[in-house]
């Protein structure tokens, strides 16, 4: 069983659901304490490995504040985070190496880790948009 699957099972069981319950895991449904634990045990290690496989030098020190730049400082961990590079609607689609990496690897991984939302998770889930 993968570490993600094990973590997902543990979180699901801790939230009162079992593997046979038919309930869908949604990060948004967790308490603040459960979110912090899940981020530390599942999201952070998975995303660190993903980013480090993309650029081991740039992301050697991948941590909470890699994504939660301002949210870590003020303790809110809210997203989108204005501390991340803002995106511009007129430059979509992002066809740079990092844009393709984010679209093809980061977003699908986040969707898997955090559970479904209506409409998925667009780039503006994490990044602010320049108008």
For the residues of 83-117, what is the DSSP string, one character each? TSPPEEGGG-S--SHHHHHIIIIIHHHHHHHH---
Q: What is the pTM of this model?
A: 0.77
Domain range for 31:
3-130
SS percent in the chain: helix, strand, coil, step 5: 55, 5, 40
Q: Please count the structural domains in the chain.
A: 1
For 68-82, how does the pLDDT look when each residue is reduced to its tens digit (9 = 90+)? 999 988 889 999 999
**pLDDT higher than threshold 70 for residue 14:** no
CA Rg value for the chain: 15
CA 54 – CA 75 distance, rounded (Å): 28
Which tens digit of pLDDT belongs to each residue from 91-126?
Answer: 766 678 888 999 899 999 998 999 877 766 788 889
Residue 49: pLDDT band with limits 50, 70, 90: very high
Task: Give percent above pLDDT 70 in the chain.
Answer: 79
CA–CA separation, 7 and 13 (whole Å) = 10
| Residues 130, 116: Cα–Cα separation, whole Å | 26
How many alpha carbons fall within 13 Å on the CB side of residue 89?
3
């Amino acid at each position: 069983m993968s570490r993600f699957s094990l973590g997902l099972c543990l979180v699901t069981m801790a939230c009162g659901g079992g593997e046979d319950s038919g309930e869908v895991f949604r990060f948004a449904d967790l308490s603040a304490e459960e979110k912090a634990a899940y981020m530390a045990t599942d999201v952070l290690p998975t995303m660190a490995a993903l980013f480090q496989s993309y650029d081991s030098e740039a992301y050697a020190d991948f941590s909470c504040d890699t994504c939660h730049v301002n949210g870590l400082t003020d303790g809110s961990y809210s997203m989108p985070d204005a501390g991340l590079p803002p995106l511009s609607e007129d430059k979509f689609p992002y066809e740079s190496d990092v844009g393709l990496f984010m679209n093809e690897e980061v977003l699908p991984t986040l969707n898997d880790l955090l559970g479904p939302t209506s409409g998925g998770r667009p780039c503006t889930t994490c990044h602010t948009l320049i108008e």
